Copies of this chain bind each other. A is one copy, B any other.
Amino acid sequence: MKIARVSGTVVSTINHPLFDHQRLLMCDYLDEKGGATGDYTIAVDLVGAGAGEDVLILDEGNSARQTLDVDTGPIRAVVVGIIDYWEQD
């Protein structure tokens, strides 16, 4: 998993029913210090994350389907958690 910060939303006409009533979040990947990496992903929001929040991104198709409790469906990246904090030792 990677840490990312929610930076916006995407509105797209997708016909697959899996995407009905799902929010698509644009998420900026962060490095370990919380700085921007320049890379991003568009992920399905499972936790009600808002802009500016730091989240955990899981980017693997089978995992994504299982978090949505579906066997099939065109999905790969999901926001699985809001990060409370992280610490470097």
Contacts and interface: CB of A to CB of B under 8 A. Distances in A.
Interface string A47-60: 10001100010111
Contacts of A83: 10-12
Copies in the complex: 5
Contacts of A56: 10, 12, 14, 42
A74 B84 contact: no
A51 B9 contact: no
B86 A16 contact: no
B13 A81 contact: yes
Given A2-B42, A14-B56, A74-B80, 16 more contacts: A1-B42, A1-B43, A1-B77, A3-B42, A6-B89, A8-B87, A42-B56, A52-B89, A59-B76, A60-B74, A60-B76, A61-B63, A62-B72, A63-B76, A64-B74, A66-B74
